Amino acid sequence: MTAPALSDFCLVDECVLTGGIKVGFLYREDPEPGEPHGDSGWALRGEAGDASEDDIDARDVAWVPLSAVLAVDDTWGHLIASPPGSAFARNPKTWKFEAVDPDAP
């Protein structure tokens, strides 16, 4: 599978777009065919920091082009061509993304 177009859409926590929160976890599923804007398959979550699981689950989510997320946080851009089934979490000590099991709790 090739890299998605930057105009393809993704799900992202709004706090990444407007709250200055960096992407902390991202995963890619199979894109949904027939989406009018193009589906990249990517979902991006903001860093947890001191937020509780309930706080994280309550975050508003936006459906935006990949380019909109990259414009505010491009630290994950090198992962964009990763295939569906990929998942990455930011290591808080090294600030680098590491591959993780997308189904792990």
Q: Give the pLDDT score at 48.
A: 81
Following DSSP, what letter does each residue of 51-74 receive, concatenated? --HHHHHT--EEEEEHHHHHHH--
For residues 105 and 90, give the distance between their C-alpha atoms in angstroms, rounded to a whole number.
16
The answer to the question of residue 89 being in a domain is: yes
* Predicted local confidence at residue 19, as pLDDT: 82
Does residue 46 form part of some domain?
Answer: yes
So what's the pLDDT on residue 105?
56
Percent of the chain with pLDDT over 70: 97
Range of the domain at 37: 9-99
The whole-number pLDDT of residue 51 equals 76
Q: Identify the DSSP state of 78.
A: G
Q: What is the mean pLDDT of residues 22-47?
A: 91
Residues 30-48, mean pLDDT to the nearest whole number = 89
Residue 79 lies in a domain: yes
Does residue 92 lie in a domain region? yes
Q: Assess if residue 91 is contained within a domain.
A: yes
Q: Which residue's structure tokens are 């414009």?
A: 71
Is residue 3 included in any domain, yes or no? no
Q: Taking the model in full, what pTM does it have?
A: 0.87
pLDDT at 92: 87
Residue 65: its pLDDT value, please? Answer: 96
Mean pLDDT of 38-62: 87
Number of structural domains in the chain: 1
Q: Give residue-wise pLDDT tens across range 82-92.
A: 999 999 999 98
